[in-house]
Amino acid sequence: MKKNLLLIRNKITSCRLQSILILITVAGLLTPSAVHAQKTQEIPPDSIKYQGSTYQKVTVKAQYPKVVGYLSFILPLETFSSGNFTPNFSNHTSSIGFPVGVNVLYSDRFGFSYEFTPTIKASGGTSKMSNLLFDPGTMFRFDHGFTIISRLAFETSGRYGFTPVFNQVYARTKDVNYFVALSLPARFGNSEASSLGLNLQLGFTFN
């Protein structure tokens, strides 16, 4: 009888030990999966995880309206009038302008530009300021620093018209952005033939 009781107790103890071992084994198998699941948990691209916590990234947006000034110089390359092309440096005559202005930016896509351009003309061994141009215009801004500006033109020489401008920012720094532009000035009035020109402009805007 005693032997039977001892056998029963040994079987019970053995079953308990087997149960405990099974529980430990199952817990060991499940724990790495849970840890791995935590490590590979995906977070939104606009968030960052730090020391076990998830934080939302702060995106700094440009404040509008924004006002920027700029300085530049402009070279008339060619002028077409009365069926003839006239280069800037023909007949010992040359001109250079110095556009200065202010751009008021209302969004990433639109702005308005106010520009004044005094022009210096050199001819026959002398030079003088020959003209002052005021040409405000709307700015249509695109990606990668490209802008199209549609300008009106009013000159103290008596000429008037419009000027489409194709502007491209080619270098950026903390303080200034450098740009290059091609413009097609169309001019009328003052008892002269209509003309269409091609100008090259280089300059920089203040950030």
Same domain, 90 and 37: no
Indicate whether 172 belongs to any domain. yes
Residues 99 and 142 occupy one common structural domain = yes
Judge whether 125 lies within some domain.
Answer: yes
Please tell me whether residues 31 and 95 are part of one structural domain: no
Mark whether 84 and 50 lie in a shared domain.
Answer: no
- Beta strand 186-188 with 160-172: parallel, antiparallel or unpaired? antiparallel
Same domain? For 50 and 128 the reply is: no
Rounded-to-integer distance, Cα 92 and Cα 159, Å: 23
- Secondary structure (DSSP) of 51-104: TTEEEEPPPPPPPSSEEEEEEEEEEEEEEEETTEEEETTGGGEEEEE--EEEEE
Residue 23 lies in a domain: yes
In this prediction, residues 184-205 reach a mean pLDDT of 97
Q: Which range, 11-20, 87-96, 138-147, has the best average confidence (pLDDT)?
A: 138-147
Could you tell me if 51 and 70 lie in one domain? no
User: Do 48 and 82 lie in a common domain?
Assistant: no
pLDDT at 125: 86
What does the pLDDT read at residue 91?
77
Same domain, 83 and 185: yes
- 198: CATH: 2.40.160.20
Q: Which residues contact 46 (CB under 8 A, 6 or more apart)?
A: 56, 57, 59
98 and 200 belong to one structural domain: yes
pLDDT(35) > 70: no
Is 61 a member of any domain? no
Whether the per-residue pLDDT at 41 is higher than 60: the answer is no
Q: Does one domain contain both 102 and 188?
A: yes
pLDDT at 36: 44
Average pLDDT, the chain: 84
Judged against a pLDDT cut of 70, whether residue 31 lies above it is answered with: no
Same domain, 72 and 124: yes
What is the count of structural domains for the chain? 2
| Residue 178 token pair | 């450098």
The position carrying tokens 């948990």 is 41
What residues make up the domain containing 193? 66-206
pLDDT digits (tens, 9 = 90+) for 51-101: 666 666 666 677 899 999 999 999 999 999 999 998 988 778 899 999 999
Domain-ending residue, one of 56, 78, 101:
56
Same domain assignment for residues 132 and 70: yes
- Residue that finishes a domain, picked among 37, 56, 75: 56
For residue 194, tell me if it sits in a domain. Answer: yes
Query: CA-based diameter of the chain, in Å?
Result: 137
Cα(180)–Cα(157) distance, integer angstroms = 26
Answer whether residue 201 is part of any domain: yes
Residue-by-residue DSSP string for 148-203: EEEEEEEETTS-EEEEEEEEEEEEE-SSEEEEEEEE--EEE-TTS--EEEEEEEEE
